[in-house]
Copies of this chain bind each other. A is one copy, B any other.
Amino acid sequence: MKRSNRLVALTNFFLENPRTHTQFPYFVSQLATTKASISEDMDIIDAVFRSEGIGYLRRTTGAGGGVKFIPACVDEKNKCFVEALRQKLKDPVRILPGGYLYMSDLLGDPKTVREIGRVFASTFSKKNIDVVVTVATKGIPLAYAVASFLNVPVVIVRRDPKVTEGSSVSINYVSGSSRKIQTMVLPKRSLSEGAKVCIIDDFMKAGGTITGMINLLEEFHATVQAIGVLAEADDEEEERVINDYTSLIKISNVDMKKKAIDVHFGNFIQ
């Protein structure tokens, strides 16, 4: 295969297989070329990936040596994307009863969801994550987007057990906003003991749901490595129980009567 064709095929391969270690002989045989040529191809791809803010190629040498594509956005690109999101969320027409924001249109756009996933995956790039955990249903697309860049599976915590998932572990917890006792379940087969977990959700107020997830994950002896929420809302009546999390957007001063709202950057920018 010619260099120009190889570059297209290799670029596609890396983008479709993030964080996947691939040995050089695989490329040599697939693309019918030499190791030296592949190495030059990778120099070109790595340079473009870096300059375009897509990520980079991590190469290892020696026996079993190969290459891994690490998706990683530059901070500036992430900030631009979140700023665009912030502008969209500022629209007071989004205010819903109870101080919630209508975000289903943004969460229904696969491209926006993918970009949110890219921002979290970049932010959590150095953490050692085995699995992304979310709670049904709004966090699901975000969890898949993050997981696809991290190349790990997704596990979904539910409000009620389903016949299609077999036996489950369940816990009860008190929801911060409604003060009601709620239930969360996780199928036994879905998570291996001691997994290193990243929790992803769309919205956090007092943090009751995420606390519930942490408690449930303790039953599986999982370690929470990272917590990412798209939007957090200041809730003055409640003390935040979760401290170590990353948010992209922060909402405050929701005034239902005046239809006013403040939308800021979350804590993802230090």
Contact = CB atoms under 8 A, between A and B. Distances in A.
Interface of A: 3-5, 7-9, 11-12, 15-17, 44-45, 47-49, 52, 54, 96-98, 100-105, 108-111, 113-114, 136-138, 140-141, 144, 147-148, 151, 153-156, 158, 163-166, 187, 189-190, 203
Contacts of A187: 104
Tell me the interface secondary structure of chain A in the complex.
Answer: helix
A159 to B, nearest CB: 10
B137 A8 contact: no
A164 B9 contact: no
12 contacts: A7-B11, A9-B52, A11-B11, A12-B48, A15-B16, A102-B165, A105-B189, A105-B190, A108-B153, A136-B136, A137-B156, A141-B141
A61 B22 CA distance: 40
How many identical chains are in the complex?
A: 2
Given A111-B148, A114-B148, A100 B7 contact: no
A96 B8 contact: no
Contacts of A3: 4
Nearest to A164: B100
A144 B147 CA distance: 14
Given A4-B7, A5-B44, 15 more contacts: A7-B11, A8-B45, A9-B48, A12-B48, A15-B15, A15-B16, A96-B165, A100-B163, A101-B164, A102-B166, A108-B155, A109-B154, A111-B148, A141-B141, A144-B144
B5 A48 contact: yes
A40 to B, nearest CB: 9
Nearest to A94: B166
Contact of A5 (B8, B47, B104): B47
